[in-house]
Amino acid sequence: MFQDKDMVSDYLAGLNASLTAYAGFINESNNSELRQQLIQLRNQDEARQRTVYNYALEKGYYKPAAPASPDVIQQFKSELTSNQ
């Protein structure tokens, strides 16, 4: 029998996979109506993902990585801007 933690984890994994798929579909869509519909669906899934993520945090089912230090953030920003 699935436990609550397992169901939340599975649902999050599914949402994350769908968000990845939406990115590809949106990029490849040539029809503007379809593109807008896909964007709307993606946005709904992003909101749903955030809700489930927050639930997992509250319940202790998920422990995020430690925040990056300001030095690491600055280095990352520098690398991104130098590659443009």
40-81 per-position pLDDT tens digit: 999 999 999 999 999 999 999 988 889 999 999 999 999 988
Q: Report in angstroms the alpha-carbon separations of 30 from 33, 36, 65.
A: 9, 11, 38
d(C-alpha 42, C-alpha 68), whole Å: 27
**The predicted structure's pLDDT at residue 33:** 97
Q: Which of 38-57 are b and which e, b meaning 16 or more Cβ less than 10 Å from the residue's Cβ?
A: beeebeebeeebeebbeebe
**The predicted structure's pLDDT at residue 1:** 67
Spatial CB neighbours of 14, under 8 Å, sequence gap ≥ 6: none
CB 11 within 8 A of CB 52: yes
